[in-house]
């Protein structure tokens, strides 16, 4: 790593320096990572780098870029360095207390919106607003995306971490849904009363012993609380399903994200508790890679 006095002070030269540092590290996409970090730091789009490659960069910003490159070279994800993640077309703040939302979780949003359409609930249920509940909300990614897509709906976000809820609140405010989203700090739905129409959740589902084998960007930076699903990865599902029965209104839906190889087990767990497949809506939804990612069933 270069000393601050040795850093190049032109845009393209500084990018090349960062790229070369990351190429020598374990970063999978060094060219892209260096560009994303530099453009964010300089508040530029890609054309600004290409059209004016020799534009000067201050020594202070070059030093900040070197610090960002150092963090990436040590394995920290780009999104963690930037402090935000793009999810379902919106920018979400993240923190060490929250899971870093992944693109595959967008399938949970898509599946839920398909259910809302199939039920004819986009504009409300029986003359009242659609009511949504998100267990383990983290950044608020799922519930915020749903509320943005369903402007008449109301939401409740639950998380065990006060720090995560603070991030979710900030995201709700910045994305314009804070007036329709309430927050509860608690362990799933034990303290909740009342009824909702749809419960969504991306709970921790990694088997405890498998966490050590996860890629470093997940294992070392996502909170264990958001990863550890117990011995077989299904502890959270076993806790949520009976609470969902108590909290869902008539014809209500429960929609889960699941891990690799878990879809059938989660569907069996739900069916054994009284959930049934919905008409015209698949029970298991696949992600962009063709893997079973979401399980959705309706309260009988």
Q: Is 280 exposed, middle or buried (0-12, 13-18, 19+ CB in 10 A)?
A: exposed
Angle between helices 162-174 and 141-149 (to 10 degrees): 30
- Domains annotated for the chain, with CATH where assigned, are 4-75 (1.10.8), 97-299 (3.40.50.150)
Average pLDDT over residues 152-168: 97
Lowest mean pLDDT segment, chosen from 102-111, 163-172, 189-198:
189-198
What percentage of the chain exceeds 70 in pLDDT? 98
Average pLDDT over residues 16-40: 95
Average pLDDT over residues 56-80: 96
Q: DSSP letter for 252, please.
A: E
State the pLDDT at residue 5: 66
Distance in angstroms (rounded) separating the CA atoms of residues 38 and 16: 10
Residue 2 confidence (pLDDT) above 80: no
Residues in the chain: 300
Distance in angstroms (rounded) separating the CA atoms of residues 289 and 63: 39
State the pLDDT at residue 183: 97
User: Measured between alpha carbons, how far is residue 299 from residues 96, 106, 125, 164 in Å?
Assistant: 35, 23, 16, 29
User: Measured between alpha carbons, how far is residue 133 from residues 3, 38, 202, 231 in Å?
Assistant: 50, 38, 12, 26
Q: How confident is the model at residue 3 (pLDDT cuts 50, 70, 90)?
A: low
Contact yes or no for 244/300 (Cβ under 8 A): no
For 114-151, how does the pLDDT look when each residue is reduced to its tens digit (9 = 90+)?
999 999 999 999 999 999 999 999 999 999 999 999 99
Q: How confident is the model at residue 26 (pLDDT cuts 50, 70, 90)?
A: confident
**Token pair 């994200």: residue:** 257
Q: How confident is the model at residue 4 (pLDDT cuts 50, 70, 90)?
A: low
More confident residue, 242 or 1: 242
Distance in angstroms (rounded) separating the CA atoms of residues 79 and 33: 10
For 32-59, how does the pLDDT look when each residue is reduced to its tens digit (9 = 90+)?
999 999 999 999 998 888 999 999 999 9
Average pLDDT over residues 155-159: 98
Query: What's the per-residue H, E or C state across 9-26?
Result: CEHHHHHHHHHHHHHCCC
Partnered with residue 253 across adjacent β-strands are 198, 298
The overall average pLDDT reported for the chain is: 95
Neighbours of 155 (CB within 10 A): 27
State the pLDDT at residue 6: 83
Which positions ≥6 away from 290 have C-beta within 8 Å?
A: none
Q: Give this prediction's pTM.
A: 0.93
Distance in angstroms (rounded) separating the CA atoms of residues 269 and 257: 14
State the pLDDT at residue 17: 97
Contact yes or no for 109/177 (Cβ under 8 A): no
DSSP helix/strand/coil, 24: coil
Average pLDDT over residues 70-77: 95
Residue 260 confidence (pLDDT) above 90: yes
Q: DSSP letter for 228, please.
A: B
């Amino acid at each position: 790593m270069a000393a601050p006095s040795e850093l190049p002070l032109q845009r393209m030269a500084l990018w090349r320096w960062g790229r070369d540092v990351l190429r020598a590290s374990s970063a999978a996409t060094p060219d892209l990572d260096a560009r994303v970090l530099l453009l964010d730091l300089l508040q530029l789009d890609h054309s600004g780098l290409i059209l004016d490659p020799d534009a000067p960069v201050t020594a202070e910003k070059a030093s900040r870029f070197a610090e960002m490159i150092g963090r990436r070279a040590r394995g920290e994800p780009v999104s963690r360095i930037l402090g935000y993640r793009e999810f379902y077309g919106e920018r979400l703040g993240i923190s060490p207390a929250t899971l870093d939302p992944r693109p595959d979780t967008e399938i949970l949003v898509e599946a839920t919106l398909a259910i809302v359409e199939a039920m004819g609930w986009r504009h409300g249920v029986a003359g009242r607003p659609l009511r949504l509940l998100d267990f383990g909300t983290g950044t608020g990614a799922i519930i915020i995306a749903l509320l943005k897509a369903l402007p008449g709906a109301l939401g409740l976000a639950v998380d065990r971490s006060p720090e995560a809820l603070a991030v979710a609140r900030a995201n709700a405010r910045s994305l314009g849904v804070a007036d329709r989203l309430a927050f509860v700090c608690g362990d799933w739905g034990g303290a909740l009363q009342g009824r909702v129409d749809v419960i969504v959740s991306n709970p921790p589902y990694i088997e405890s012993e498998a966490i050590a084998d996860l890629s470093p960007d997940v294992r070392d930076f996502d909170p264990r609380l958001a990863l550890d699903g117990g011995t077989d990865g299904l502890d959270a599902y076993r806790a949520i399903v009976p609470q969902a029965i108590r909290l869902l209104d008539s014809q209500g839906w429960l929609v889960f994200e699941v891990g690799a190889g878990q879809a059938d087990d989660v569907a069996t767990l739900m069916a054994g508790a009284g959930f049934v497949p919905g008409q015209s809506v698949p029970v298991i939804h696949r992600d962009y890679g063709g893997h079973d990612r979401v399980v959705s069933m309706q309260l009988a």
